[in-house]
Amino acid sequence: MANIGFIGLGIMGLPMAGHLAAAGHSLFVSGRSRRRDEIEQGATACSSHAEIARRSDIIITMVPDTADVEAVLFDTGGVAEGLSAGKLVIDMSSIAPLATKRFAERIAALGVDYLDAPVSGGEVGAKAATLTIMVGGSEAAFERARALFDAMGKNVTHVGESGAGQTAKVANQIIVALNIAAVGEALLFASKAGADPVRVREALLGGFASSRVLEVHGERMLKRTFAPGFRIDLHHKDLGLALASAGELGVSLPQTAFCRELLNAARGNGEGALDHSAIVRQLERLAGHALGE
């Protein structure tokens, strides 16, 4: 069993940390976190990120954005100040691939391995320990962390060197966003045409159009259950990473750009904190029609 520092006890981080505690690992978390007591086996509170790093063999970060990861790692009192040779840092946030490579280089200079291991599966997957985990970094570091990943996820893949995990996550977010928009358009079309969108979805689930997005997010759209599993604000951020990276690569992503604008419209309407399935509400505004009308 390992001493694990876990930074970021949010919607997904909390259940992920809970699975590690349940597996018998000792957890060290920020004393400022109001959610540490929600971890079933408890966790030791620390006064700073540096203290978390000093008391842990492996440090996991699960925070919203690139700037947050950089601050946690390198600000005064940050993780880097508490690291020593032989430790391992795992960032499970979804951030910029190029920044990830820079962070890995700075951590490696301290004699510490670094893995980028973003996840997919949302709050449901985090709670059920069925997350898809995409990992970048050395093979040796991946093998060292494999048991931890297996405690939190079901589909764990070592994609390649540093940054490869984040690149895979950006690709995942492109596919998910486009699928959510497609499901929203299809159900809205069916409803506007006079068909029952509930029955249309049932029919589509049995054919080639079937997908996890149609199953889960299609149901959310129809039932109007937009409590966040994955917030619009975060998906908007992820598509921003995709478009910024595409710009550097000279790759055109027109459908990704369209979906980001839908998410941007949602944020403009004060819906950034809703689940990303609420993208359908922007399509409804454009159509002047709501599902089930």
Catalytic residues: 169
Q: At what angle do helices 164-192 and 212-223 cross, to 10 degrees?
A: 50
Strands 131-136 and 119-120: antiparallel
Q: Quick one: CA dihedral 38, 94, 2, 80, positive or negative?
A: negative
In angstroms, the Cα distances linking 100 to 50, 67, 137, 282 are 20, 11, 10, 33
The single-letter code of the amino acid at 187 is: L
Token code pair at residue 61: 């970060």
User: Helix (H, G, I), strand (E, B), or coil: what is residue 250?
Assistant: coil
Q: For residue 240, give the amino acid letter.
A: G
Strand-strand pairing, 88-91 and 131-136: unpaired
- Residue pair 52/59 in contact (Cβ under 8 Å)? The answer is yes
Rounded distance between C-alpha atoms, residue 239 and residue 254, angstroms: 12
CA distance 128 to 146: 18
